[in-house]
Amino acid sequence: MSETTSKSNASADEPTPSAPAPSDCCSPAGDAAVSDKLAMVSGSVLLRVWLGVRAIQSGIEKFATTAQVDRPQLADGEPTGLSETVTVKAYSLSAYQGIPPAMEDTFADQPLIPAFMLPIYDAVLGPALLILGATVLLGIASRASLFLLGMLYVSLTWGLILLGSAGDAGVAWLGTHIILIVLALQLTRHDPLRVLKKW
């Protein structure tokens, strides 16, 4: 009798195996976490691509010019034998202007801008936009690239501030770019499509 009682007590002391917990991947919380992660990855890539394309196109526009070309006049889709001269947009290395001539003259009169800096800035601005835009777009050292692009926009902002009220719209527009760069820096850790991820 006592032996039977001791066996019953021993059985009662043994822990009852619990059922395995459901996997998070199949639970509503797990689905939400996956969706949030995907949203952060998509947002970081999208913002990086936008900033990269924006900088690259801004750099390309430094090489823009206009050209006069003759085009045949058409009547009902058929050439009339006459031609007309039209102005078209074109790109050329020889047309490069980092700082527009009108603004360069204005900056030359600013006492806070050393005269020797203007030619250097004019020569560097376009290539800097192209290079930084490409590294941001391709995710090469994203943190460093975004920071340097932000500093470039800060330098442009400083120049526009010196123009007074004429540059206020540009200052606000560049301020929006700075906010986007700060957001991109915050989202960089969620971006898997990067090279030199430490930087």
One pLDDT digit (tens) per residue for the chain, 199 residues: 444 444 445 444 555 555 455 554 556 666 666 677 888 888 899 999 999 999 999 999 999 988 888 777 777 767 777 777 888 888 889 899 998 887 888 888 888 888 888 889 999 999 999 999 999 999 999 999 999 999 999 999 998 898 887 788 889 999 999 999 999 998 888 888 777 777 7
Structure tokens at 91: 């790109």
Half-sphere exposure of 190 (CA within 13 A, CB side): 20
Please answer whether residues 130 and 59 qualify as being in contact, where contact means their C-beta atoms are separated by less than 8 angstroms.
Answer: yes
d(CA 24, CA 37): 14
Looking at 18-139, which runs of residues are DSSP E strands?
64-75, 78-91
DSSP 116: T
- The structure's pTM equals 0.73
C-alpha span between 50 and 64 (Å, rounded):
21
Cross-strand bridge partners of residue 69: 86
d(CA 18, CA 32): 26
Phi–psi pair at 97, nearest 5 degrees: -145, 105
What was the pLDDT predicted at 30? Answer: 60
pLDDT of residue 132: 96
User: Cα–Cα distance between 184 and 178 in angstroms, integer?
Assistant: 10
Neighbouring C-beta atoms of residue 165, cutoff 10 Å:
6
Question: At residue 98, what is the residue type?
Answer: G
Cβ atoms of 50 and 71 closer than 8 Å: no
Kindly tell me the burial class for residue 38, based on how many C-beta atoms sit within 10 Å of its own C-beta (0-12, 13-18, 19 or more).
Answer: exposed
Query: Rounded distance, CA 93 to CA 161, Å?
Result: 29
In this prediction, residue 27 carries a pLDDT of: 62
Which residues of the chain form beta strands (DSSP E)? 64-75, 78-91
Distance, CA of 18 to CA of 74 (rounded, Å) = 85
